[in-house]
Structure 1
Amino acid sequence: MNINTDICIVGAGPGGALLAYLLAKQGMTVILLERHKEVFKEFRGEHLNEEGEEILKKHDLFSKIEELGLLRMETLEYWENGKLFKTIYPDPSVGHLGIHVPQAHLLNVLINEAKKYPNFTLMTGTTVKDLIQDESGSFTGVRAIQNGNEIMIHCHLTIGADGRYSTVRKKVGIDVEIRKHGYDLLWAKIPAPPDWEPSIKMALIDDMQLSLFTQAKGFIQIGWNIREGSFTELRRQPFTPFIEKLIKAFPQLEQTVKENITSWHDFVLLDVHSNFSEEWGRDGVALIGDAVHTMTPTGAFGLNSALKDADTLATLLTQHRITDLDLLSCATQRKKEIEKLQKIQIEKEQTFATQFVLYS
């Protein structure tokens, strides 16, 4: 099958979905590809900061997401040995310290808004196998597989929004500089106890960061830093002493932790690294989000940076014909911001323990 379109976006995460909506709204024909049959299958960041909130409000999307449900964080707290010793409150002009937006709510709104335009097409269960090139070497589309059938999508611009292990980036031959941060992350999700206030709570366990993020619909997400590469060794050790450290740090979680985290299998391991590429596109291909600058979970910048990439690229595509798009200009606008955010992440990680020095 051969299909022609103006834009082909690979990856229906927040960045890809927002970009698809913005470009379809501008009248371009857009095909959005997602390798999973459901766009919510793959976990992505769910915390908005002020920048992400501003972008969604700019495009009249935030109120629609709020109708489905979100949760504003009211405090940032630091705990030691089960006791709260420092609380940070939001700037009154902002009103929160981050907003939890369930991935399904965000993507539902973005894709449903895009579907209002007949020039938008969502193709799920579709895996990109290669890129199409013309005789001059420029990239002119993608070769994908859907339900065992080959699809050739010809387009003026291919957008790689397909995450940290981006197929589009690899097929173009763009290199990234990978930086390890010395830790991996264990994720877990548990029901919040009664009367749990919307907050971010931090503790220091064995000199590593433990974070609790309140979520909409009455849940808490646990982010537990462990030494890089240590999970295999950790799993050989008894589980109970490990989980007792969490309970000691936050005694109010004892019942829900014991009921919902009963083995190592209740944690999801995230290999933490950041990466950055000097090249954000090449000859008919542009990259956004984790495909070109993977962030660590620190500071919850990843989701918001992807939204900003999409907003910036959509603006440039509004101002220029697709074939005249200056990818270097697009990258230049965002590179300095991303470099600054990644430096902030490193600084936050390296200085986290100092938050507990005065207390101890």
Structure 2
Amino acid sequence: MNYQADVCIVGAGPSGALLSHLLAKKGLSVILLEQNAALGQAFRGEHLNEEGEAVLTSHHLLQAVEALGILRMKKLEYYAKGRAFKTILPDTAIGHLGIHVPQAHLLKGILQETQQFSHFTCLLNTKVTKLITDRSGRYVGVVATREGETIEIVSQLIIGADGRYSTIRKQAHIDTQKHKHGFDLLWAKIPAPQGWEPSIKMALVEDKQLSLFTQAGGFIQIGWNIEQGSFPQLRKQAFTPFIKQLTDTFPELAETVTHHIQSWQDFVLLDVFSSHCDCWGTDGLVLLGDAVHTMTPTGAFGLNSALKDADCLASMLAKATIAQFNVQEFQQIREQAIEKVLAQQIEKEQSFASNFEDWAS
């Protein structure tokens, strides 16, 4: 089966979903491809900052997402020796310190608003295998497999919004520079104790960052930095002393941690790195989000930067001029902002321990 559209977007993550909505709203025909069988299955950040919130609000999408369930953070606390020694409250004009948005809620909320457009098509369980070029070398479509069938999608513009391991980037032979940050991350998710306030809590354990993020639905996400590449050796050691550091730091979590984190297998390891591409696309093809600038989890900038990418790109595309779209102009507009965010991440990582100097003294 063959499809045709003005734009083919590969990857139904935050940037791909938002871009689909914005372009369909402008009257462009859009086909959105997602390799997973359901939305929200890939690992992505789930915290909106002011920029991400502003993007969704400006396009009247936050209300649809909120109806599915979000959670506004009421405070940020720094912990040591089992107690909070510093608390940061939100600006009263803003009212929160970030918003937890479950990934599935964000994507569903955006795309349910997009389904109203007859010129929008979303194909799940569809894996791109190859790019199609015309005689001049311009990219004009993709080949994909869907439920055992090979399909072709022809379009004027291909968008690679397919994440840090982007197939589109690889197929287009666009190089990426990868940067390690000296740490990896252990994730775990536990039920929140009764009465737990929506908050972000930070601690320093053996000079490593330990963070708790309250989540919608009554959960807490634990993010625990460990030395880069150390997990194979770490998991050979006794588990109890390691997890005791968590309960000593946050005693109110002792019961739920005991019931829900009982072995190394209850953690998920995230290989932490950032990356950037000197080239954001070429004739007929554009990369955005993690596909072109992967970020670390620090500061939850990745999701919000991806939404900003989509917002910016949509503002530059119109049905009459899509064939003449200049990817270099898009890159120039967004690249400086991305470089600034990456610098902020490094600064936050390097200065994290300084938040605990007053307590130590």
Fold match by TM threshold 0.5: yes
Name 1:161's counterpart in structure 2: 161
CA distance in 2, matches of 1:130, 1:189: 37
- Superposed CA RMSD in Å reads 0.9
- Partner amino acid, structure 2, of 1:339: E
1:210 and 2:210 aligned: yes
Name 1:264's counterpart in structure 2: 264
CA distance in 1, matches of 2:357, 2:5: 57
Name 1:97's counterpart in structure 2: 97
CA distance in 2, matches of 1:57, 1:3: 32
Would you identify which runs of 4 or more consecutive aligned residues in structure 1 move more than 6 Å? none
Name 1:243's counterpart in structure 2: 243
Name 1:133's counterpart in structure 2: 133
Name 2:300's counterpart in structure 1: 300
CA distance in 2, matches of 1:274, 1:66: 30
Name 2:287's counterpart in structure 1: 287
Instruction: Name whichever of 143-152 and 220-229 sits farther off.
Output: 143-152
State the SS of the aligned residue for 2:359. coil
How far the C-alpha of 1:183 sits from its partner, in A, is 0.2
> Does the aligned pair in 1 maintain the 2:27–2:319 contact within 8 Å?
no
Structure 2 matches for 1:211-226, cutoff 5 A?
211-226=211-226
CA distance in 2, matches of 1:278, 1:92: 40
How far the C-alpha of 1:242 sits from its partner, in A, is 0.6
Alignment gaps of 5+ in structure 1: none
State the SS of the aligned residue for 2:283. coil
How far the C-alpha of 1:65 sits from its partner, in A, is 1.3
How far the C-alpha of 1:43 sits from its partner, in A, is 2.5
State the SS of the aligned residue for 1:301. helix
How far the C-alpha of 1:320 sits from its partner, in A, is 6.1
- Partner amino acid, structure 1, of 2:75: T
User: What do the CA deviations read for 1:160-188 (whole angstroms, capped 9, x no partner)?
Assistant: 00000000001111111111000000000
1:187 and 2:176 aligned: no
Name 1:318's counterpart in structure 2: 318
User: What do the CA deviations read for 1:104-134 (whole angstroms, capped 9, x no partner)?
Assistant: 1111111111111010001011000010011
How far the C-alpha of 1:151 sits from its partner, in A, is 0.7
How far the C-alpha of 1:246 sits from its partner, in A, is 0.3
Name 1:329's counterpart in structure 2: 329
Mark the CA change 1:84 to 1:320 in structure 2 (over 3 Å): closer, same or farther. farther
CA distance in 2, matches of 1:327, 1:320: 16
Task: State the percentage of identical aligned residues.
Answer: 58
- Partner amino acid, structure 2, of 1:76: L
Alignment gaps of 5+ in structure 2: none
CA distance in 2, matches of 1:282, 1:207: 44
TM-score (norm 1): 0.99
- Partner amino acid, structure 1, of 2:189: K
State the SS of the aligned residue for 2:137. coil
Name 1:12's counterpart in structure 2: 12
CA distance in 2, matches of 1:9, 1:64: 22
User: What do the CA deviations read for 1:8-38 (whole angstroms, capped 9, x no partner)?
Assistant: 0000001100100111111111000000110
CA distance in 1, matches of 2:345, 2:320: 34
State the SS of the aligned residue for 1:68. coil
CA distance in 2, matches of 1:78, 1:320: 53
State the SS of the aligned residue for 1:358. helix
1:309 and 2:313 aligned: no
How far the C-alpha of 1:318 sits from its partner, in A, is 3.2
Instruction: Name whichever of 215-224 and 35-44 sits farther off.
Output: 35-44
Mark the CA change 1:251 to 1:32 in structure 2 (over 3 Å): closer, same or farther. same
TM-score (norm 2): 0.98
State the SS of the aligned residue for 1:274. strand
User: What do the CA deviations read for 1:275-320 (whole angstroms, capped 9, x no partner)?
Assistant: 0112111111001100000010000001101110000000000386
